Amino acid sequence: MNYETKLLSTSEYDITYAAKLLADGEVVGIPTETVYGLAADAENEEAVKNIFKAKGRPQDNPLIVHIADISQLEEYVYDVPQLAYKLAEKFCPGPLTMVLPKKNRIPNVTSAGLDTVGIRIPYHPAARKLIQESGKALAAPSANLSGSPSPTTAMHVMNDMNGRIPAIVDGGSCPVGVESTVISFENGKIRLLRPGFISADELSEFSEVICDKHITEAAIEGEQVRSPGMKYKHYSPKANITIISGSREQYIDYVNSHGGDGIYAMPFSRDECYCRIPCIPYGDTSEEQASKLFAVLREFDDIGAKQVYAYCPFVDGVGLAVYNRLLRAAGFEIITL
Ligand code: TXA
Ligand code: MG
């Protein structure tokens, strides 16, 4: 791992160059509508091992496999329920990952030894072109160093991956900003494993949705989880993050009386003007907060914040995804006023 990492554009020339790298078994940072991914040929064991190396990712955390079209689904998985096709009709291409029994062509390194694999069809045009031009299904976790906030710009990827991969395709800021909604199927029901832009409410129009308890509760040491990612503290900036829950007035009073060296507030944007300690606001609607969250967490690192008091986001719709990521960034530390 000692590359001169190239920053590529989404021009036809650069996409063809990146697709060739992928076809040759290299790892490339790619834009998607959710967050940037660290992509490689999902069927090439060596290439996939290099993703784990570049990220410093634990070997037991499986990768999502990205395909260009729903017609390819059964090349990689079997026992696909009708419900999966109904969901795909509505939400794919888009930020939905469906966990299904994997066929043998998906190597065990990719699925981290599980007999299932998460499949997603991204709608970002650059991601789609890269899959099509390389002719490969692309395994891609978020393109951050393991444990860091997910990257939502090419610069975030460069900060984490410079020298570790040959190239990054710059497709601008990721519009969604949080990773895909991950689901599995259980006796005709949908189990939500990771909340995302596609909300439990939207999914519940198709079938009953079981929200896995580890979306909002920390797994106890050694406890069985349905998705390996639930075991890890994620999205963690260097600062200690604490979520503050209560009325907006209570939050403002709390931060204004808890200022000090390296202490910051992370309020809703409309409350920035009331904060008398330094702050970085993260938007007002859940959609805006989803798109800003990871960039704001990275900004706190850049300015050397030691302690951040974040105002608790809404927990419905996309807000559940924001809450889930912030809870993990906070190591589940929450103060209720
Ligand atoms: O939006 C996204 O999903 C982004 C972009 C790049 O597509 N990718 C992403 O991948 O977030 P990653 O590896 O950072 O997160 C994948 C999550 C992990 O928490 C993992 O444990 C879970 O999905 N997962 C993957 N395969 C699974 C499986 N077979 N069973 C259960 N959980 C799985
Ligand atoms: Mg990730």
Model pLDDT for residues 295-310, shown as the tens digit of each residue: 999 999 999 999 999 9
Q: What is the DSSP secondary structure assignment for residue 113, as one 8-state letter?
A: T
pLDDT at residue 263 in the model: 98
Task: Classify burial at 331, counting beta carbons within 10 Å of its beta carbon; exposed 0-12, middle 13-18, buried 19 or more.
Answer: middle
Residues with C-beta less than 6 Å from any ligand 1 atom: 32, 34-35, 37, 61-64, 95, 97, 99, 111, 114, 116-118, 120, 140-142, 179-180, 182, 193-194, 227-229
pLDDT at residue 58 in the model: 86
Secondary structure class of 255 (helix, strand, coil)? helix
In the predicted structure, residue 326 carries a pLDDT above the cut 70: yes
Long-range pairs for 105-110: beta carbons < 8 A, 24 or more residues apart: 105/43, 105/75, 105/76, 106/42, 106/43, 106/65, 106/76, 107/43, 107/45, 107/48, 109/45, 109/48, 109/49, 109/52, 109/59, 110/42, 110/43, 110/45, 110/48, 110/62, 110/63, 110/65, 110/139
Tokens read off for 65: 């496999």
First to last CA, the chain: 48
Exposure letters 228-257 (e unless 16+ CB within 10 A, then b): ebbbbebbbbebbbbbbeeeeeebbebbee
CB 55 within 8 A of CB 61: no
Give the C-alpha separation, 43 to 304, whole Å: 40
* Between 283 and 147, residue with greater pLDDT: 283
Tokens read off for 316: 């419905």
Alpha carbon of 85 to ligand 2 centroid (Å): 26
**What is the rounded average pLDDT of the residues 151-163?**
98
Model pLDDT for residues 179-202, shown as the tens digit of each residue: 999 999 999 999 999 999 999 999
**What ranges do the domains of the chain cover?**
6-215, 240-336
Q: Which atom of ligand 1 is nearest to the CA of 176?
A: 1
Model pLDDT for residues 32-69, shown as the tens digit of each residue: 999 999 999 999 999 999 999 999 988 889 999 999 99
Q: What is the DSSP secondary structure assignment for residue 270, as one 8-state letter?
A: G
Other residues' Cβ atoms within 10 Å of the Cβ of residue 74: 12
pLDDT at residue 323 in the model: 97
In the predicted structure, residue 158 carries a pLDDT above the cut 70: yes
Considering only CA atoms, which residue is closest to atom 21 of ligand 1? 229
Alpha carbon of 135 to ligand 2 centroid (Å): 24
Give the C-alpha separation, 277 to 138, whole Å: 44
Alpha carbon of 278 to ligand 1 centroid (Å): 34
Pick the CATH number of 6-215 from 3.40.640.10, 3.90.226.10, 3.90.870.10, 3.40.50.12160: 3.90.870.10
pLDDT at residue 174 in the model: 98
**Domain spanning 240-336: CATH 3.40.50.11030:** yes
Give the C-alpha separation, 96 to 180, whole Å: 5
User: Which of the ligands is closest to the CA of residue 321?
Assistant: 1
Considering only CA atoms, which residue is closest to atom 10 of ligand 1? 141
- Calculate what percentage of the chain has a pLDDT beyond 90: 92
The helices-and-strands tally (H runs, E runs) of the chain is 11, 15
Residue type, 241: I
Q: Which atom of ligand 1 is nearest to the CA of 111?
A: 29
Q: What is the pTM of this model?
A: 0.97
In the predicted structure, residue 73 carries a pLDDT above the cut 70: yes
Interior angle at CA 80, CA 50 and CA 115, nearest 5: 40
Model pLDDT for residues 230-271, shown as the tens digit of each residue: 877 666 778 999 999 999 999 999 999 999 999 999 999 999
